[in-house]
Chain A
Amino acid sequence: MGLIDTISKFKLGRRAFLKWSAAVSALTALTGYENELKKITPAEAQEISQEKGEWKNAPCWHNCGGRCHIKALVSGGKIVRLKTDDTHPDSIDYPQLRACARGHAQRQQVAGPDRLKYPMKRTHWTHGGGDKSLRGRDTWERISWDEALDIVASEIRESKEKYGPKSIFLMDENFNNQGGEIFRVLGLYGGYMSKYGSRSRGAWRQAMRPIFGYDRKFHNQNDRLDLVKAKLILLWGSNPAWNSYPSAMNNLIRAKEAGAKIIAIDPMYTTTASVIADEYIPIRPATDTPLILAMAYVMLKEDSPEKPMIDWDFLNRCTVGFDSEHMPEGADPKLNFKDYVLGNLDGLPKTPEWASKICGTPVDTIYRLAREVGLTKPVTALFAWNSARADKATHVCLAQTTLAAMTGNVGIAGGAFSCSCQERSTEGGPALVAPGSTGVKAIKNPIPNSERMCANEHWRAILTGKYTAGQGDKKDLDVHVIYHAHSNIVSQTANTMESIEAHKKVDFIVTHQFLLNSNAMFSDVVLPITTPWERDGMVLGGAREVIIWTQKVIDPLFEAKDDGWIALELGKRLGLDPKEVEPVSLKQQNFNMLAGAKVAKPDNSGMETLLTITADDIKAMGVEGQPQQGRITLSELREAGSYQVPRKMDDAFYYINNKSFRDDPEKNPLKTRDGKIQIYCGELAEMVTKAGWNEGHPIAIYEPSTEGYEATFSDFEKGIKGKYPLQVCSVHVPRGAHGNVSNSLWLREAFPIPLLMNPADANSRGLKEDDTVKIFNDHGTVVRRLHITERVMPGVVMLGEGSWVQLNEDGYDIGGCPNVLTGTFPSGPDIESFVSIAEVAKYDKPSLPDALWPQRIIF
């Protein structure tokens, strides 16, 4: 049609245009959400168009434990590209802290289309809950911040007034020294139900204080530069190549190059093992104690003056409970470790033959390993927390400590038995640089600690209305509101299916999030929060040798707000004093952490102030403070993004843990009941028993987990397998950090998370590579694609953790969340159990690789 025709035709239809113009001008009700333009002045336009690119510090904020550099080139609100550590030349003593793929994918997380952009309400939620069964699959509506905050405030108010403050279950956390804003709001408003318990650290967190006198993340490790002095390194369930950045692998490679033999003990031949191990020894999940007991048995049988394996001097001077002659006061002398191992207690010697049946490690391998560990000096054993992340696993902590003490690998160069995880993977020793405090005083929850729920049973407690408050003490509970101000615990806690049921029971659920993670998915109102890249800074500590400072990288995207702003707005609606809700602004908190930062003096004789801060710096930051003198200037820190303590071999910061204790235990006692290592630990046994779930034992008596290897049999003695013959082992994978970043499509493409299965198990089930399979047990069903590999032990399947649960029409989780398969098996003192058993079969609905899935996107 020609132009003239078009025009003529439109002239005839012009009536419609005039009607439209008239009608539209009558439509005045705007929501404020319209994506339209506004007119600005030429001067304003000029200013915006001149915004220039600038490198800003944009490190990961997640809990993988890595403390790595990322810098973002930002121009006009756009993140143009990222780079990692180029602050100094790389050397093995003083390494660059380079980010992994997860770090580089942060850009996709911050600016991905799946960001939560606006407050949203579940369409069928009404006061009282509406149709609660729709949680997780309902439709949503965008609402204003005012409406969202009004709803949250009125639900809190009503729940408190009608059912009391314990009817509000709050998940919040102080993380990276910051956060916990909603703790303050609800603490000031009368209190809340909170949780306690060990999650990642299993039994290690509580057990090591009564056994060894400490509760700290670096556990028992020596300095990272001490690894080169070890003759033998055991990597016990430890796979830093997948989950510990930036420098754990470097430290281990260096030790190997210095001549250490490295043995990996794991249900899977890990990437770490394939890179550096001289030997790989298979072990079934949650059967570490039988292997250790059998090693102790071999040492006890074979130790001789000609071939000494046991450090009797250390045992006699520094421990109690190893044999009947060295028992703590009041303990039954029969109940000693040596007699238990030799079978004098229960008629069952803990031989390699006995252990092998349970742990799956071949008998001759156990003998060989025991002799090698006994005869080699010194030995460093690096355990991951996973070994004690199973119910009743306090025996792992006792057994591991006992083996360390028996072999004398305590307080010596190159010798330490320790956990090695997260920020402190391969790094022992007190922090050489650390941020100061935020200056925020915590608000105490008016509900006393004795009335908290343990995380190892909180979903069941909400469902049944009863929680365990101690031995023989079950208390009533009536939760109506769940408030998620942190974390992703629907997927990341044991028994996700029970968690979902609990979420379908209560009247109201609100979540602060920047993505539609599992918590948000099952909520009624989601409040979009800023990522740390959009906030007034953050100071990251936790590692030994570095602190990282980040300023705001970009302005908040869409309607995202800080948690602190949400806290203030809720506080306003609940009649709280804003000065108590937010006594110190985020900006000021960061300044306080910087001003208070300390660094070890060059001769390690103490700590000194890190930063020189001028009056101009204080003014420019818009905070209150006093000028101060320190080692480097604030602008040097800003420019570098971090302060990392330079290291070299045999420098002043070289550190051997427990050396003074070993040298003189009477003068330097541990914080244990009698100052020595408690191989017999009455205090731990009492703690376990008093917690109210199971009976504690003072020595390393092996007790199988409820759904451990033994449970894969209907008759273990006769060797008859049960209906769930496979052990499921969940494992940290390079795709995510717990519940974080696994949603990134880049990472999904780079790191698929299939179910890993041994060919023998696949063949006997007629399964083929890339088959879509269901992994099922009495708790739930997970759907995954299958990868068949000799790297996994027969009888064990491995599933990467961190994926968000996503139920399909059959009620199966296609997201790949391992906790769909874990049950509620609480044990003392506060252990949550992450082991499970299952069967695997082909699933008739094929699934796509994760990278080809649509993202979860909600405004």
Chain B
Amino acid sequence: MGEKLNSDDLKIIMEMRQYGYDVLKKVFYVEPSKELLQTMRDNEIFEGFPFREEGNLIDTGINFITKFFADKKDNDDEMTSEVRWDFTQLFVGPYALPAPPWESVYRSNEHLLYQDTAFEVRKEYLKYNFIPKNYPHEADDHIGFELDFLLQLAGNEGALKDSRKFLNDHLSQWVSEFSRDIQKYALTEFYRGAGIILKGFVLEDMNLLGEILG
């Protein structure tokens, strides 16, 4: 271990990581509901996001989202429909999918679904007795599942090493390209910001785990 941690510190770290992964998961696992967006905005959820440092990626991303919320503050319905359409056009369709939210699309030579990585992450999930909610009808390496898995591990003191391994082997391998596509093709500052935060948080978390685990 790089630096000595007491049990309180470890608890804080667990909370930080749960916080980060939970917020990101909810941004990426389904079209956000109006209530979720209101909750995020009204409780300034992004302002308190872990690892924010002035000028770092997370900070940059938060600024986009803060601006988006400010611009839409008097029109919740417009805010919601813009974010939902942005999610749909980025990750759902139609006509062309600019940021396919599956690892295998980025990592297989053939850019297909249900390729090696989907089965590799499934194996990791199974070690902890998890499986995608609609197994086997969803490709297991959707960004939502990978974030959810890291969220589940973040609540488990003994799973720091596996978290690092999963980040190393999977999420970190495609998050940069995925984030780049989101930034390039998002129609709202909400997803542009979220895409940047996603990449920033993954990189910071890898650093953090590196420091803790040596």
Q: Which residues of A contact B (CB under 8 A)?
A: 1-4, 6-7, 10-11, 13-17, 19-20, 23-24, 26-27, 29, 31, 33-42, 44-45, 48-49, 75-79, 107-108, 111-115, 118, 120, 123, 139-142, 516, 555-560, 745-746, 853-859
Cβ of B12 < 8 Å from any Cβ of A?
Answer: yes
Q: Are A112 and B211 in contact (CB under 8 A)?
A: no
Inter-subunit contact A142/B138 (CB<8 Å): no
Q: Is B68 an interface residue (CB 8 A)?
A: no
Report whether A36 and B133 are in contact in the complex, using a CB–CB cutoff of 8 Å. Answer: yes
Q: Is the CB of A858 within 8 A of B93?
A: yes
Q: Report yes or no: A107 in contact with B130, Cβ–Cβ below 8 A.
A: no
Partner of B9, one of A7, A108, A140, A557: A7
Interfacial chain A residues near B47, Cβ < 8 Å: 16
Which of B29-37, B158-166, B167-175, B194-202 lies at the interface?
Answer: B29-37
Alpha-carbon distance between A718 and B88 when the two chains are bound, in angstroms: 59
> A859 near B93 (CB under 8 angstroms)?
yes
Closest Cβ of chain B to A425, distance in Å, is: 30
Does B75 belong to the interface (CB within 8 Å)? no
- Chain A residues with CB under 8 Å of B119's CB are 75-76, 78
- The answer to whether A854 and B35 touch (CB under 8 A), given A35-B30, A42-B129, is no
With A and B bound together, what is the CA distance between A858 and B100 in angstroms? 11
> Could you tell me if A556 and B137 are in contact, using CB atoms closer than 8 angstroms?
yes
Residue numbers in A under 8 Å from B179 (CB-CB): none
A113→B139 CA distance, assembly (Å): 10
A24 in contact with B22 (CB, 8 Å)? yes
* Choice from A16, A78, A107, A858 contacting B92 with Cβ under 8 Å: A858
Residues of B with C-beta under 8 A to A556 = 137
In this complex, what residue of A is CB-closest to B39? Answer: A23
Query: Chain B residues near A559 (CB, 8 Å)?
Result: 137
Which has the most chain B C-beta neighbours within 10 Å: A4, A36, A42, A44?
A36
**In the assembly, what is the distance between CA of A556 and CA of B135, in Å?**
10
* Nearest Cβ on chain A to B51's Cβ, whole angstroms: 7
Min CB distance A691 to B, Å, is: 40
Tell whether, in the assembled complex, residue B95 and residue A16 are in contact, meaning their CB atoms are under 8 Å apart: no
A516 to B144 Cα, complex, angstroms: 24
Interface membership of B111, Cβ < 8 A: yes
Residues of B within 8 Å of A, CB-based: how many? 77
Choice from A17, A139, A745 contacting B15 with Cβ under 8 Å:
A17
A50 smallest CB distance to B (angstroms): 10
Collect the chain A residues with CB atoms within 8 Å of residue B193's CB. none
Query: Residue B125 at the A interface, CB < 8 A?
Result: yes
Q: Within 8 Å CB of A108, what residues of B?
A: 110, 112
What's the Cα separation between A141 and B94 when bound, in Å?
9
B72-107 to A contact mask, C-beta < 8 Å, 1/0? 000000000000110011001111111010100100
**Residue in A27, A112, A115, A118 whose beta carbon sits within 8 Å of that of B39 in the complex:** A27
What's the minimum C-beta distance from A807 to chain B, rounded to whole angstroms? 12
Interface assignment of B145: CB less than 8 Å from any CB of chain A: yes
The verdict on A140 contacting B94 (CB below 8 Å), with A6-B51, A35-B29, A78-B118 known, is yes
Flag if B110 contacts A120 (CB, 8 Å). no
Alpha-carbon distance between A848 and B77 when the two chains are bound, in angstroms: 38
B44: Cβ under 8 A from any A Cβ: yes
Question: For residues 119 through 133 of chain B, which have their beta carbon under 8 Å from a beta carbon of chain A?
Answer: 119, 122-123, 125-127, 129-133
16 contacting pairs across A/B (C-beta < 8 A): A1-B53, A11-B12, A16-B43, A24-B26, A29-B35, A34-B144, A38-B132, A39-B130, A77-B136, A108-B112, A113-B97, A113-B112, A114-B97, A516-B95, A858-B97, A859-B88
Contact for B3 among A4, A29, A746, CB less than 8 A: A4
A856 touching B94, Cβ below 8 Å: yes
Given known pairs A48-B126, A78-B115, A857-B100, the reply for A35 and B48 (CB within 8 Å) is no
Contacting pair B211 A3 (CB below 8 A): yes
Compute how far the CA of A557 lies from the CA of B132 in the bound complex, rounded to whole angstroms.
13
Looking at the complex, which one of A24, A114, A139, A853 makes contact with B88 (CB distance below 8 Å)? A139
B76 → chain A, closest Cβ, in Å?
Answer: 15
Contacting residue for A113 out of B25, B113, B122, B125, CB 8 A: B113
Contact pattern, B 1-30, Cβ under 8 Å of A = 1, otherwise 0: 011010001001101101100110110111
Q: What is the CA–CA distance of A745 and B18 in the complex, to the nearest angstrom?
A: 39
The closest CB in chain A to the CB of B3 belongs to A3
A722 to B108, CA, bound (A): 52
- Cβ A139 vs Cβ B39 within 8 A: no
* A contact residues around B126 at 8 Å (CB): 45, 48-49
Considering the chains assembled together, what is the distance between the CA atoms of A140 and B114 in angstroms?
Answer: 25
User: How far is B96's CA from A745's CA once the two chains are assembled, in angstroms?
Assistant: 13
The answer on a CB contact under 8 Å between A45 and B95 is no
B residues at A contact (CB < 8 Å): 2-3, 5, 9, 12-13, 15-16, 18-19, 22-23, 25-26, 28-31, 33, 35-36, 39, 43-45, 47-51, 53, 84-85, 88-89, 92-98, 100, 102, 105, 110-115, 118-119, 122-123, 125-127, 129-133, 135-138, 142-145, 148-149, 152, 208, 211-212
Are A16 and B132 touching (Cβ within 8 A)? no
Contact of B148 among A6, A37, A140 (CB under 8 A): A37
Residues of B close to A114: CB separation below 8 A: 97
Q: Is A36 touching B25 in the complex (CB atoms < 8 A)?
A: yes
B124 to chain A, nearest CB (A): 11
| B85 → chain A closest CB, angstroms | 6
Q: Looking at the complex, which one of A20, A23, A120, A557 makes contact with B93 (CB distance below 8 Å)? A: A120
A27 to B22, CA, bound (A): 13
Output the least CB separation between B106 and chain A (Å): 11
Question: Which residues in A have their C-beta under 8 angstroms from that of B122?
Answer: 48, 76
- List, in ascending order, chain B residues with CB within 8 A of A859's CB: 88, 92-93
Nearest CB on A from B207, distance (A): 9
Given A16-B43, A36-B25, A859-B92, 12 more A-B residue pairs with CB atoms under 8 Å apart are A1-B53, A6-B208, A19-B48, A20-B23, A31-B30, A35-B142, A108-B110, A113-B112, A139-B85, A516-B94, A555-B137, A858-B97
Tell me the smallest distance from the CB of A121 to a CB of chain B, in Å: 11
Beta-carbon contact of A112 and B112 below 8 Å? yes
Q: How far is the CB of B211 from chain A (nearest CB, A)?
A: 5
Per the bound structure, the CA–CA distance linking A31 and B28 in Å amounts to 14
A33 in contact with B30 given A7-B9, A14-B15, A24-B39 (CB within 8 Å): yes
B contact residues around A112 at 8 Å (CB)? 112-113
Name the residue of chain A whose CB is nearest to the CB of B53. Answer: A1
- Please name all residues of chain A whose beta carbon is closer than 8 Å to the beta carbon of B142 when the two chains form the complex: 35
CB-CB nearest in chain A for B26: A24
Q: If A35-B132, A49-B123 touch, does A745 touch B111 (CB 8 Å cutoff)?
A: yes
Chain B residues in 8 Å Cβ range of A17: 15-16, 18-19, 48
**Does B35 lie within 8 Å of A107, measured CB to CB?**
no
A38 touches B93 (CB 8 A): no
B105 touches A555 (CB 8 A): no
CB distance from A507 to the nearest CB of B (A): 21
Distance in angstroms between the alpha carbons of A19 and B29 in the assembled complex: 21
Given A40-B129, A856-B95, A858-B92, the answer on whether A20 and B12 have CB atoms closer than 8 Å is: no
Which B residues lie within 8 Å of A855 (CB)?
96-97
Question: What are the nearest 10 A-B pairs in CB distance?
Answer: A16-B48, A858-B93, A35-B144, A857-B97, A854-B96, A858-B94, A859-B92, A37-B130, A13-B48, A77-B136
How far in angstroms is the closest Cβ of chain A from B66?
A: 13
Q: Say yes or no: A37-B152 contact (C-beta < 8 A), given A29-B33, A139-B85, A555-B137.
A: yes
Q: Is the CB of B114 within 8 A of A3?
A: no
A197 to B157, CA, bound (A): 69
Bound Cα distance from A785 to B25, whole angstroms: 43
B111 to chain A minimum Cβ distance, whole angstroms, is: 7
List A contacts of B123 (CB < 8 A): 49
The CA of A1 and the CA of B148, in the complex, are separated in Å by 27
Q: Does A7 contact B100, Cβ atoms closer than 8 Å?
A: no
Q: How far is the CA of A853 from the CA of B114 in the complex (A)?
A: 22
Q: How far is the CA of A406 from the CA of B212 in the complex (A)?
A: 92
Interface centre among A16, A114, A745, A856 (most CB of B within 10 A): A16
